[in-house]
């Protein structure tokens, strides 16, 4: 069955040339590549432009006692075309610096963006955010917190962050998700995961 899941490896493509087109907070590169095809031959050389950025970590803060989650809201320039508003409801997230562990980044960002101390952490999944045009890779977690005093405005002023953190019950968050009011992948995936795993997760964390 494993052969059905993975057809190729790192030995089945060739980077002919790589050009850096732009370097800022993000980097835009043009790759000239070729790769083996499903019929066993090699493709013709072709180009793809890739938005390159550091890996990131995101975390859904969850209080298993109060059965509440902490969500954040902030302005996003990439959502200017959103018909309702470029302020999006999200979960805490941040970019990894060199040699940082993803879970440590998630814990740090929870404090910076939501004022939440992570008491325990559980990995949800890892995934490529948009591999058709970006190399961004995300590590997603759920974190145990005490939500009794969570909320307020947070963020780093030197990074022009203006982030509102707020608490809602898990059921309210699921309704927001169902109504389409949450439309960022980390928030969608983590809340759907919580819907499926809430009962045993609460049992696990309430015993600590």
**Residues with catalytic roles:** 159
Joined together, the tokens standing for residue 143 give: 């974190």
Cβ-Cβ contacts under 8 Å for 110 (sequence gap 6 or more)? 59, 61, 92, 116, 117, 118, 143, 145
Rounded Cα distance between 79 and 186, Å, is 15
**pLDDT tens, residue by residue, 139-196:** 999 999 999 988 999 888 888 889 999 999 999 999 999 999 999 999 999 999 999 9
The answer to whether 136 is a known ligand-binding residue is no
Domain(s) of CATH 3.90.79.10: residues in the chain: 56-206
pTM for the structure as a whole? 0.93
**pLDDT tens, residue by residue, 64-117:** 999 999 999 999 999 999 888 999 999 999 999 888 999 999 999 999 999 999
Rounded Cα distance between 155 and 150, Å, is 14
Collapsed DSSP state (helix, strand, coil) of residue 176: helix
Q: How many residues does the chain have?
A: 208
Correct CATH for 56-206 of 3.90.79.10, 3.40.50.300, 3.20.20.150, 1.20.1250.20: 3.90.79.10
The answer to whether 110 is a known ligand-binding residue is no
The answer to whether 172 is a known ligand-binding residue is no
The answer to whether 93 is a known ligand-binding residue is yes
């Amino acid at each position: 069955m494993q052969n059905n899941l993975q057809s190729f490896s790192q030995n089945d493509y060739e980077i002919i040339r790589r050009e850096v087109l732009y370097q800022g907070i993000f980097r835009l590169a043009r790759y000239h590549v070729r790769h083996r095809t499903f019929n066993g031959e090699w493709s013709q050389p072709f180009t793809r432009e890739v938005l390159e950025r550091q890996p990131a970590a995101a975390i859904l803060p969850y209080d298993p006692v109060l059965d509440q989650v902490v969500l954040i809201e902030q302005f996003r320039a990439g959502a200017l075309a959103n018909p309702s508003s470029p302020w999006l409801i999200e979960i805490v997230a941040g970019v990894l610096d060199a040699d940082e562990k993803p879970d440590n980044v998630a814990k740090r960002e929870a404090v910076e963006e939501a004022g939440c101390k992570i008491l325990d952490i559980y990995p949800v999944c890892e995934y490529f955010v948009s591999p058709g045009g970006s190399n961004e890779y995300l590590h997603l977690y759920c974190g145990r917190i005490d939500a009794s005093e969570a909320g307020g405005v947070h963020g780093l002023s030197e990074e022009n962050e203006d982030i509102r953190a707020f608490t809602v019950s898990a059921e309210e968050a699921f309704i927001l998700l169902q109504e389409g009011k949450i439309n960022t992948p980390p928030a969608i995936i983590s809340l759907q995961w919580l819907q499926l795993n809430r009962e045993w997760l609460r049992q696990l964390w309430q015993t600590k």
